[in-house]
Amino acid sequence: MRITRVLGAALLMLGAAVAPAAADSSPSPSASSDSDAPTSAGTSFRTATEFEQGQQATASGSTGDYLYWSFPADAGQRPTVEATVKLPETHAGQTWQVDVYDGLRRRQACQYGAQTRTAAADATTVELACVLRTVRAWSEPWANDPLPGTYYVRLTAVGLTTADLGQPVDATVEVNSKDIGGAAAVDGSLAKPLVPGISMKSEASSEDDSSASAVLSSIEPEDGWSGGWWSDRWVWTAVGGLLAALAGVGGYSLTRGAGRPSRVPPGA
């Protein structure tokens, strides 16, 4: 009896401890180092420079350039794109904008963050941010939900005077994700992440290696794409089942009372 009680208490404690811990969202760990962070940017979807989440990608360009980067985002992540532009010494008022596109080049909405910002004539930097929606493991083809795969960041000046065209600017882009976890878990997953050119990549690798050429996107998260089946919902549900069983035992024992039924005469 005591063992049952101790065990029950332990399980309860465990349940209480594990569930919120697993449910807690924690920021994704930063990539180990910035040493291999890219120092240039592409100028189109096709030439976008790839970088990992947590890395700080830098690039020097000219006002009026369209700077492109791409990064991987996996299911359950809510990426935040932050861009900083160092403006030239003298300039007129400029409006800068950061846009995020998914692997199908569909524009992705920002939940919040200053996606577009106008820098006054005396400003030295512009800081832009875009908090994306949580990446889902699966969605209907008719939906525009963010899905695991490549994401493109486009940074450009959308409003500028002709006199400011071609001035040197430095841009920094960083992406960090909040791990939303099981709250965003859905049933189903994509067979392959939304990485452009992924079907050609698999063909190329199965053929002779020398025929392999540049790919549209060779992007992959550091620890690979998640299979899409794990979520903390397993923990919640399992703990819930255990607690229910314990509560069942408790309810049952309440109806039994302590010891033998009082109506039963001793020695029966």
Residues 184-243 contacting another protein, CB under 8 A? 185-192, 194, 196-200, 203, 210, 212-216, 218, 220, 222, 229, 231-234, 236-237, 239-241, 243
Contact pattern from residue 77 through residue 96 relative to another protein, giving x for each residue in contact according to CB under 8 A and a dash for the rest: --------------------
Which residues ranging from 129 to 158 are in contact with another protein (CB under 8 A)?
137-138, 141-142, 156-158
Q: Is 246 in the site for another protein (CB under 8 A)?
A: yes
2, 35, 208, 254: residue in contact with another protein (rule CB under 8 A)? 254
Minimum CB–partner distance for residue 244 and another protein (Å)? 3
Reduced to 3 states (helix: H, G, I; strand: E, B; else coil), residue 22 is: helix
Q: How far is the CB of 229 from another protein (least distance, A)?
A: 7
Using rule CB under 8 A, residue 253 touches another protein = yes
Backbone angles phi, psi at 12, to 5 degrees: -60, -45
The burial class, CB within 10 Å (0-12 / 13-18 / 19+), for 172 is middle
Rule CB under 8 A: is residue 171 a binding residue for another protein? no
Q: Binding of another protein at residue 101 (CB under 8 A)? A: yes
Residue 109 binds another protein (CB under 8 A): no
Q: Is 130 exposed, middle or buried (0-12, 13-18, 19+ CB in 10 A)?
A: buried
Told to check if 262 binds another protein by CB under 8 A, we report no
Residues 35-54 that bind another protein (CB under 8 A): 40, 43-47
Rg (CA), the chain: 27
Length in residues, the chain: 268
Do the Cβ atoms of 18 and 239 come closer than 8 Å? yes
Q: Is residue 61 helix, strand or coil? A: strand
Among 26, 33, 35, 162, binds another protein (CB under 8 A): 162
Mode of pairing for the β-strands spanning 66-73 and 49-50: parallel
Supply 124's token pair.
């030295």
| 64, 133, 145, 170: residue in contact with another protein (rule CB under 8 A) | 64
Residue 81 backbone phi and psi in degrees, to 5:
-100, 125
Per rule CB under 8 A, is residue 106 in the interface with another protein?
yes
Q: Toward another protein, which CB reaches closer, 178 or 233?
A: 233
The gap between the terminal CA atoms of the chain, to the nearest Å, is: 24
| Residue 29 in contact with another protein, rule: CB under 8 A | no
Q: How far apart are CA 106 and CA 100, in angstroms?
A: 8
